[in-house]
Structure 1
């Protein structure tokens, strides 16, 4: 996300806050209004936690679908079967 996109999203969140506050004056402190205010808080919190410049993408590690060598598990507990030791 570029700084411009983040700035635009924060601006839209501010506009949304104004709209929700207008609705709050009309509808009062009802459960749907409290939910909207809570959701808005999550949106603003998330936007506040985003860095202005994106982090570098993490390196992907491919894990093969083939079974691991049985020797790798020698002496390990098989927790799925109640702690039975593998031969």
Structure 2
């Protein structure tokens, strides 16, 4: 994250970087990558997708309940943060 030093002070938990070659330290990241790979296999040319296609996939993932969020969706959590 290019601007992590600017973002970290704004986050209650700060910013965490897992150790290289330790995917178990990045569970949510690895899970999200797996979800994205269902739509975008490695080495796919993303230019074949329209902006509307990409938005539809983003919306689908943002509205998918996550165990790590207490079965809430990322969209719900973001909405709560923005409302605070």
Structure whose residues are more often strand by fraction? 1
Larger radius of gyration: 1
TM above 0.5, yes or no, is no
Structure of greater relative contact order (alpha carbons < 8 Å, 6+ residues apart): 1
